[in-house]
Chains A and B, each alone.
Chain A
Amino acid sequence: MTGRRTRARMLLAGIAGLGLLAACNGPLEGRADEDHAGPPAYGDTFIQASIGDIGGLIPSLTSDQSSHEVGGLIYDGLVKLDKDLNMAPAMAESWTYSKDCLDLTFKLRRDVKWHDGYPFTADDVVFTYQTMINPKTPAPFKEGFLLVKSVDAPDPYTVHVRYDKPYARAVETWGTYILPKHLLQSFAEAGTLRESPQNSHPVGTGPYRFQEWKPGEKVVLLANPDYYEGRPYLSRVVYRVIPSQATIFLELKARGVDYVSTLTGIQYARQTEYPAFRKAYHKYRYPASDYTFLGFNLKDPRFADRRVRRAFAHAINKQELIDGVRLGLAREATGPIRPGTWAYTDKVTRFEYDPAKARELLAEAGWRDRDGDGVVEDKDGKPFTVTIRTNQGNDERKKIAEIIQQRLKEVGVHADIQLIEWAAFIKEFVKPRRFELVVLGLGTGVDPDQYVVWHSSQRGPDQMNRTGYANPEVDALLEAGRSSCVQSERVKYYHRLQEILAEDLPMIFLYYRDALPVVAARIHGVSPAPAGILYNFNEWYVPKAQQRYTSG
C-alpha cells in the first residue's frame, strides 16, 4: 500500500513540471513513530485543513493543488511514485520498454474494480488517452499525451503505447488519473466533461470513495473496502476548506484538524514549541520541491563574464540567508535537481562565502575601486551598480534581496532593490528580460528533465529559460537526457549537467525550502522518506484506544 497523494503531487509537480509550484518531497528529517500504542486498526476520521476549495472532481481538468490532492485519493494511475521518488507499479503490474525506447507496454492488474463495481480494463486506459488528446477536453496539461503516437489494447489487461521519438517522461505520463469509460464516454465525446455527474460525484479506482462535496465547506471520502492493495486504515477523510491561514493555525492549536501540509517557519520554530502542542502533534521537515535563486540576466555584458557571477557567488552567504530568512528551515541548493531524487548529485563545485576571493575575481574581471568610494568601477570609471528585483508580497524574497544587498556592498557592488506586483513583474521585467538580478523560485519536477529551463532554444519571451543561458554542451546533455529511457544512462547526463551549471552559475542556487507538515500524534505509521510523508497514507492508522471519531 502506498500513497495516492504522493502521486497527485507527482502529477502536479511532474506534469506541471517546472512551473512555480510548491509541493513537498525530498530527503527527510523528521520524527519517526516513537510510541507503539497498539496494532494497526481500522477506523477514525482524518481531518485535513486546506486553504482553498477543490475546483472539480475530474482532476485532469483542474490545475489547483486541492483538486489534485483529493483526486489522488479517489483515482489511480497505472504507475505511482514510491517513497524514494521512483516509479512504482499501481494499476499496472509491470511495464516494459522496447530496445529503442519507442514502445511501452503495460501489464494491468486483473483485480481492480471501479467504485461502482465495474471491472477496470485496458479500455479505460485507451479511453483516458483519447479523452486527454481530444481537443474538446479542457485539460490544462496534455503535453505528455500529445507526444504519444498511438495507444491500443491488444487484450483487456495489456496496454501498448507507441512514441515517435523516445520520451524520458513517458512512464510518468501514465501516472495520470484513469477515467471510467463506462460513465464518461458520451460526455467526453460531446466535450461536456465538466458538466458530467462524474465531476460532482466521481467514481474512481482509488483507495477512497467519494461521499460528499459541500462546496466551500468540505469534501468527505470513505475508505474503499475493495481496494486492490487492501482497505486503507483511516475510515474517513475529511478535507476541510478554511480560507484563513490564521484560522487554520487556531484550529490546529485547538486540535480541530489532524494534518496541515505546511506551517510557516515562525510557526514551526517558535509558535508550536510548547509541551501541549508537541504532545498532540508530530512535526516533520523535508525539502520542498522548489528552490529559490538569484538569477542573472546573461544578456547584461557584466554578467556574461563568468568571473563576475562567481564573485557574486563568493559574496553571498547562503547559510546566513537560510538562518535569517527561513529560521534555518531550508537547505543549501547547489543545482536545479531536487536532492533525494535519483538524478541528484552533490559532487559539484561550491563557492563558499569568501568576500576577499569575490573582490579578487571582480578585480580580475576589471572591476576595481579606482576612486576609493567603496564601489568598484570598470576601467572607464563606471561604478558597478545593479538593481535586484523581486515580486511584492513575498516577504522571504524581500529579505533575501536585502541581505544580498548588504553582502554585495562588502565587495564593492552597489545594489538597489525594487519590489513589483507579481503580474507586472513577470510581464514587464522577467519575460522581456528587462532585469539585472532577480530573486525568484522554481519548482522541480520528479523527472530531472529540465529542457525548458536551460536549453538555448527556450530563450523566447514566453519560454522558461529566463536568464538567457546558452551552452552547447548543456544543450546536448538536455537533449540526450530527454530522449533516453534508460535511467543508468540518464544519470550520467544529469550529473554532468549539474556540474556544469554549478561551475557556470547562470543563476545562484540559494536554497530549497523545507516543507513543514504536522500530523496529529494519534496517527501512527507516518514514516518520512525522500518522497515526504504522504506516500504511505493508506498505511496510516489510529490504534483502537486512541480513535477519536465514531465513523465508518
Chain B
Amino acid sequence: MALFALRRLLLSIPLLIGITFVSYVVIGLAPGGPLDFLTPEDPNASPEVRERLIEEFGLDQPIHVQYWHWLKRAVRLDFGRSFLPDGRPVSAKIAERLPVTLFLNLIELAIIVGLAVPIGVLSATRQYSLYDKITTVFVFVGFATPDFWLALLLMILFGVQLGWLPISGLRSLNWEYLSFWQQQWDFLAHLILPIVVATFGGLAGFSRYMRQSMLEVVRQDYVQTARAKGLSERTVISKHALRNALLPVVTILALALPGLIGGSVIIESIFAIPGMGQLMVQSVFSRDYPVVMGNLVIVASLTLVANLIADITYALVDPRIRFGGRRGRG
C-alpha cells in the first residue's frame, strides 16, 4: 500500500511539471499581454515605459527560457511578484484570499453532502414515489437555475424588501465597533445568501449521483441476502446498502477538493466576496502571468493529490480493490 502511494506520488512530479509547462505556453499564446493593460492606449502614454516593463518582467526572452526561470523559482515555492502596479508577491495575494474561499466551500460541501445523501437514499429506496418525483423536479429546477439570477432574487427579497440580511460583502462596515458576538452574527449573516445560492446548485448533481448509486446497490444479491436473513429494512439500507453506495461518492468528494480553493467567480462577484475565483479571473483578464501560474500550480497539485487520495481511500474502503490489486501484481 505504502509502496503504491509512493510510486503514485513520484509519478505526479513529472506530471505536475508537464501541466505547468503546457499552461505556461498556452497563457503566453493567448492574444494580448500584460503590457496591454498596464500601459493605456493613449497618446500621452510613454512608450519607453512599455519596453522597460517588458525587460523587467523578462518578457523579451523566448518562452522556454521564461519558463525555465519561472520553474527554478517555483520549486523553491517562490512564485514571484504580480505584474500589476501593486507588485505584491503572488503568495501573499493567494494567502489573503484562500481562507475565505476555503471556509465558504467547506461549509457548502458539508451542507451539500449532509443534504444530498439522505435525499438520494430516500429517492432511491422509494423510486417513482411522489417523494421521488417531487425531489426530482426540485433538484432539476435547482440544476437549471442560473446562480446569478437566484442570487439577485434573494438579494432583492431578503436584502432590499425585507431588510433581514446584508446584500454583499463579508462584514459590515462598522464591524470593528461591534461586540464579539455581534461580530460573529454579522459575519454569519453575510454568508447565508452566498451559501444558500451555492448549495442550491450543487445539491442537484450530488443527490442525483447518490440516488443512482443507491439504486444500483439495492439490486445487488447481497442486499437481497441481507433481506432474506430477516434483517429489518432499516438495517439493510443503512448498514449493507448505504456503505457500498457511498463508495463512488467518496471518489467524487476527493475530486471536489481542488474545487474547494477554486471558488466561484459568479457568486464571488455578485456578493462582492474577495475570494480565489475573482483573483483567478482578474489575473487571467489582465494577463498577470505570475498570479495565474501560482493559482494553477495550487489547483493542479491539489487535483493530483486528490486523485491519489481517491485511489488510496478507495483501496482502503473496498477490499475487492485491495485484494484485486495484489492478485494483479502477483
Q: Which residues of A approach B to under 8 Å, CB–CB? A: 15-20, 45, 47, 55-58, 61-63, 67, 135-136, 138-144, 146, 191, 194-195, 199-200, 214-218, 238, 240-244, 246-247, 250-251, 253-254, 256, 423, 426, 452, 458, 463-464, 549-551
Q: Which residue of B lies closest to A133 (CB)?
A: B46
Task: Please choose the segment from B168-176, B244-252, B308-316 that sits at the chain A interface, where 4 or more of its residues have CB less than 8 A away.
Answer: B168-176
A550 close to B41 (CB less than 8 A): no
Interchain CA distance A270-B302 in the complex, whole Å: 49
A463 close to B272 (CB less than 8 A): no
Interchain CA distance A22-B156 in the complex, whole Å: 30
A241 close to B274 (CB less than 8 A): yes
Given A195-B87, A242-B272, A138–B38 Cβ distance below 8 Å?
yes
A238 close to B173 (CB less than 8 A): yes
A136 close to B52 (CB less than 8 A): yes
User: What's the nearest-Cβ distance from chain B to residue A120, in Å?
Assistant: 24
A56 close to B160 (CB less than 8 A): no
Task: Please choose the segment from B78-86, B116-124, B228-236 that sits at the chain A interface, where 4 or more of its residues have CB less than 8 A away.
Answer: B78-86
B270 interface hit (Cβ, 8 Å): yes
B278 close to A140 (CB less than 8 A): no
Q: Which residue from A47, A144, A247 sits with its C-beta under 8 Å from B271?
A: A247
Interchain CA distance A458-B43 in the complex, whole Å: 10
**Which 9 residue pairs are nearest across A and B when measured between Cβ atoms?**
A216-B274, A194-B87, A19-B42, A56-B85, A55-B85, A56-B86, A452-B43, A243-B269, A242-B272
Q: Which residue of A lies closest to B159 (CB)?
A: A254
A17 close to B52 (CB less than 8 A): no
User: What's the nearest-Cβ distance from chain A to residue B262, in Å?
Assistant: 16
Chain B 25-68 interface mask (CB, 8 Å, partner A; 1/0): 00000011000001111111110110011001000000000000
User: What's the nearest-Cβ distance from chain A to residue B148, in Å?
Assistant: 8
Count of chain B residues with a beta carbon within 8 Å of a chain A beta carbon: 49
Q: Which residue from B53, B96, B152, B278 sits with its C-beta under 8 Å from A246?
A: B152
Contacts A138-B38, A138-B52, A199-B85 known; list 18 others, CB within 8 Å.
A19-B43, A20-B41, A47-B173, A62-B85, A63-B45, A135-B52, A138-B53, A142-B49, A195-B81, A199-B86, A199-B87, A215-B86, A238-B173, A243-B272, A251-B168, A423-B31, A423-B32, A458-B43
Q: Which residue from B40, B155, B167 sits with its C-beta under 8 Å from A63?
A: B40
B279 interface hit (Cβ, 8 Å): yes
A550 close to B169 (CB less than 8 A): no
Chain B residues with CB under 8 Å of A56's CB are 84-87
Given A195-B81, A254-B160, A463–B155 Cβ distance below 8 Å?
no
Chain A residues with CB under 8 Å of B240's CB are none
B93 interface hit (Cβ, 8 Å): yes
B167 close to A139 (CB less than 8 A): no
Chain B residues with CB under 8 Å of A244's CB are 269-270, 272
Q: Which residues of B approach A to under 8 Å, CB–CB? A: 31-32, 38-46, 48-49, 52-53, 56, 81, 84-88, 93, 96-97, 148, 152, 155-156, 159-160, 163, 166-170, 173-174, 177, 268-272, 274-275, 278-279
B44 close to A141 (CB less than 8 A): yes
Interchain CA distance A390-B43 in the complex, whole Å: 21
Chain A residues with CB under 8 Å of B40's CB are 16, 19, 63, 140
Interchain CA distance A405-B33 in the complex, whole Å: 37
Interchain CA distance A546-B38 in the complex, whole Å: 42
A251 close to B39 (CB less than 8 A): no
User: What's the nearest-Cβ distance from chain A to residue B35, in Å?
Assistant: 10
Chain A residues with CB under 8 Å of B167's CB are 247, 250-251, 254, 256
Interchain CA distance A217-B84 in the complex, whole Å: 17
Interchain CA distance A140-B35 in the complex, whole Å: 11
B173 close to A141 (CB less than 8 A): no
Interchain CA distance A58-B88 in the complex, whole Å: 13
Would you mind naming 16 contact pairs between A and B with Cβ atoms under 8 Å apart?
A19-B41, A19-B44, A58-B85, A62-B85, A139-B49, A140-B39, A142-B49, A199-B85, A241-B274, A243-B269, A243-B272, A247-B167, A247-B270, A254-B167, A256-B167, A423-B32
Given A251-B167, A549-B174, A138–B49 Cβ distance below 8 Å?
yes
Interchain CA distance A142-B44 in the complex, whole Å: 8
Chain A residues with CB under 8 Å of B174's CB are 45, 549-551
Q: Which residue of A lies closest to B165 (CB)?
A: A254
A63 close to B97 (CB less than 8 A): no
Q: Which residue from A47, A58, A140 sits with its C-beta under 8 Å from B46?
A: A140
A67 close to B44 (CB less than 8 A): no
Interchain CA distance A251-B170 in the complex, whole Å: 14
User: What's the nearest-Cβ distance from chain B to residue A171, in Å?
Assistant: 16
B155 close to A140 (CB less than 8 A): no
Chain A residues with CB under 8 Å of B45's CB are 63, 140-141, 143
B46 close to A142 (CB less than 8 A): yes
Q: Which residue from A16, A140, A217, A250 sits with its C-beta under 8 Å from B160?
A: A250
Interchain CA distance A475-B38 in the complex, whole Å: 32
Given A194-B85, A214-B274, A247-B271, A240–B169 Cβ distance below 8 Å?
yes
Interchain CA distance A314-B99 in the complex, whole Å: 62
Q: Which residue of A lies closest to B174 (CB)?
A: A549
Interchain CA distance A139-B269 in the complex, whole Å: 29
Q: Which residue of A lies closest to B89 (CB)?
A: A195
B177 close to A550 (CB less than 8 A): yes
Chain A residues with CB under 8 Å of B93's CB are 215
A247 close to B85 (CB less than 8 A): no
Chain B residues with CB under 8 Å of A199's CB are 85-87
Interchain CA distance A551-B173 in the complex, whole Å: 10
Q: Which residue of A lies closest to B49 (CB)?
A: A138
Given A62-B85, A551-B174, A16–B42 Cβ distance below 8 Å?
yes
Chain A residues with CB under 8 Å of B152's CB are 246, 250
Interchain CA distance A503-B41 in the complex, whole Å: 30
Chain B residues with CB under 8 Å of A551's CB are 174, 177
Given A550-B177, A551-B174, A240–B272 Cβ distance below 8 Å?
yes
User: What's the nearest-Cβ distance from chain A to residue B189, in Å?
Assistant: 13
Chain B residues with CB under 8 Å of A140's CB are 38-40, 42, 45-46, 49
Interchain CA distance A106-B275 in the complex, whole Å: 47
B169 close to A67 (CB less than 8 A): no
Chain B residues with CB under 8 Å of A247's CB are 155, 167-168, 270-272
User: What's the nearest-Cβ distance from chain A to residue B268, in Å?
Assistant: 8
Chain A residues with CB under 8 Å of B269's CB are 243-244
Q: Which residue of A lies closest to B39 (CB)?
A: A140
Q: Which residue from A17, A254, A549 sits with its C-beta under 8 Å from B43?
A: A17
Given A67-B85, A250-B152, A463–B43 Cβ distance below 8 Å?
yes
User: What's the nearest-Cβ distance from chain A to residue B14, in Å?
Assistant: 34
Interchain CA distance A61-B152 in the complex, whole Å: 36
Q: Which residue of B lies closest to A247 (CB)?
A: B168
